[in-house]
Structure 1
């Protein structure tokens, strides 16, 4: 009678182990989707390994797994992973098995596609529960056809002890600097489209470079831009006395009686200096405006145009550029405008510069740091 009671007990342990290992796999996918690198690393034993020969990457130990996850996830624009149950073979305090994966991804440098893969797993029972000792990622099918969809702005409603909570989920990390390879790709595309491009470390380098690019005595219009304000370029141009600064002159004019003169001054300076809402890796500059005052000079009215662009504004394509403009830049600019002018901003006019037909006219100073909206 006693022996018959012990057999179900063993079966219950095996069932519990299988449930816990499946939960471990689910926790891995959730940590990856939520970009929680610390939690993902904690799912491995201290000397556990995550091997991904298709990427390629081999990460051994929790710190390498955490840091490697951070490097990989910094490249994502869109990433979705689905895990399907596979096999589990228990052997006391260890286990082996396979989990089946479907993923779609788009990176900030434009790589994208759909794949089906297998995780070959080794697990071990620990005082804190089952943990991976090794996960080996094997891609079985890859389709690099461009993805037609996008990651819309969304909200998640979750229950909590205090009731329900709605959390905004950003469409992408539009505030983070793009990786170096995406900056290089954008610079190459811009150059091919007739723009002059320089990649600089930071705003201080751009401020110094501006003095070399603009001849003393030139008429210069600094368009409204948080990038110019934060970098000190707006103040340097308009207060240095080196140039014929258009903005201070216009602000001193009567907005009604001097309307025609203001329009002409803003539309055709020797040099216009400003920024953009987004720069695509395919070489397009995207500018939005509520009033449109800077657009004639940008489009061709100024003899020369210089744009200072923070690394967080570089995106893979035009669709993502428009999402960045609407989901990220506009809310920030509206908040600023509400304080400054008592009313929100709006995308009343949109300018996309796909090429510069007069080589040497348009210069882009592309920064490695994030600055502005």
Structure 2
């Protein structure tokens, strides 16, 4: 491989990792279970602070459904951090902001950082491990109206 081919391959891998992060945030925001599931390896692990730990894609999806159930809305904004690629494995870190309301009068806003491990699969890059660590968490009431999201693409 030439240096240009190596650089192009790296850029394509980085773009694919970024796409996985974006697809995760979009699926989580839209509540799209199938797209959410597609971002995970079969034997993946998901942790959120000290409260959530799920192992295996079925447990991860079930945990996500429980966390999402009854929400008037949920939104995740993800800011891509550095990406390190070594063969068919990658690591990255994301800075996130999330907000949600419901069920009832429950509220949730946070800033967190993720520590992510991914692997190359036949369908692109998928998470083998995602760990969300809170930097700030607020469960106090906030105002505003929730609107239905338009259909995804």
TM-score by length of 1: 0.39
Matched, 1:45 2:41: yes
CA separation of 1:93/1:62 partners in 2, compared to 1, >3 Å: closer, same or farther?
same
CA separation of 1:63/1:113 partners in 2, compared to 1, >3 Å: closer, same or farther?
closer
Per the TM alignment, residue 16 of structure 1 is displaced from its structure 2 partner at its CA by 0.4
Report the 3-state secondary structure (helix = DSSP H, G, I; strand = E; otherwise coil) of the residue aligned with 2:72.
strand
Per the TM alignment, residue 114 of structure 1 is displaced from its structure 2 partner at its CA by 2.1
Cα distance in structure 1, aligned partners of 2:138 and 2:63: 24
Among 104, 107, 110, the alignment partner of 1:112 is 107
Aligned residue-pair number: 153
Q: What are the within-5 Å matches in structure 2 for residues 112-261 of structure 1?
A: 112-152=107-147, 156=150
Q: Provide the residue aligned with 2:26 in structure 1.
A: 30
Per the TM alignment, residue 50 of structure 1 is displaced from its structure 2 partner at its CA by 1.1
Per the TM alignment, residue 109 of structure 1 is displaced from its structure 2 partner at its CA by 4.0
Report the 3-state secondary structure (helix = DSSP H, G, I; strand = E; otherwise coil) of the residue aligned with 1:33.
helix
Q: Provide the residue aligned with 2:12 in structure 1.
A: 16
Decide whether the 8 Å contact of 1:38 with 1:66 is kept in 2. no
Per the TM alignment, residue 10 of structure 1 is displaced from its structure 2 partner at its CA by 0.6
Larger relative contact order (C-alpha < 8 A, sep ≥ 6)?
Answer: 2
Report the 3-state secondary structure (helix = DSSP H, G, I; strand = E; otherwise coil) of the residue aligned with 1:90.
strand
**Alignment gaps of 5+ in structure 1:** 160-373
Q: Provide the residue aligned with 1:57 in structure 2.
A: 52
1:39-72 alpha-carbon deviations (Å, 9 max, x no partner): 2122111101111134x11111111112111111
CA separation of 1:57/1:13 partners in 2, compared to 1, >3 Å: closer, same or farther?
same
Q: What are the within-5 Å matches in structure 2 for residues 326-345 of structure 1?
A: none
Cα distance in structure 2, aligned partners of 1:123 and 1:36: 21
By percentage of residues, which structure has more helix? 1
State the superposition RMSD in angstroms. 2.0
Per the TM alignment, residue 124 of structure 1 is displaced from its structure 2 partner at its CA by 0.6
Cα distance in structure 1, aligned partners of 2:99 and 2:64: 17
Report the 3-state secondary structure (helix = DSSP H, G, I; strand = E; otherwise coil) of the residue aligned with 2:100.
strand
Matched, 1:97 2:115: no
Cα distance in structure 2, aligned partners of 1:110 and 1:83: 26
Q: After TM superposition, where is structure 1 displaced by more than 4 Å over at least 4 residues in a row? A: none
